[in-house]
Amino acid sequence: DVKVTQSSRYLVKRTGEKVFLECVQDMDHENMFWYRQDPGLGLRLIYFSYDVKMKEKGDIPEGYSVSREKKERFSLILESASTNQTSMYLCASSLVRGGGTGELFFGEGSRLTVL
């Protein structure tokens, strides 16, 4: 079974802090994604990556950056956390470039609260 592991299930941070969300997948998938999920807004893509050291902006990249130094690991970074970044963050991976006919496998999510 594919396993996508997110390092923290629950985090509480203060405004202005730097936040790292880590994601690791164990199936050698090329594609990795970071989404945030908010009530009434659904899943919104923040960043995605098709290869090591490659990244592309999604629909809402402002206030976020990412790092992919190894194929299995994709990190989301909030340089200076703000209260409007309080959300559920979901990491996902897929096998086929661009998703293709494959499916997204999601991690369990990281619920971030910024005070």
Partner 1 sequence: QKEVEQNSGPLSVPEGAIASLNCTYSDRGSQSFFWYRQYSGKSPELIMSIYSNGDKEDGRFTAQLNKASQYVSLLIRDSQPSDSATYLCAVIGDTGNQFYFGTGTSLTVIP
Q: Which residues bind partner 1 (CB under 8 A)?
A: 33, 35, 40-43, 45, 48, 56, 58-59, 90, 97-101, 103-104, 106-109
Closest approach, Cβ 80 to partner 1, in A, equals 26
Closest approach, Cβ 67 to partner 1, in A, equals 20
Distance CA 5, CA 88 (A): 15
Distance CA 24, CA 3 (A): 8
Closest approach, Cβ 15 to partner 1, in A, equals 26
Q: Which of 56, 97, 9, 38 is nearest to 47 (CA)?
A: 56
Looking at beta carbons only, is 16 or 100 nearer to partner 1? 100
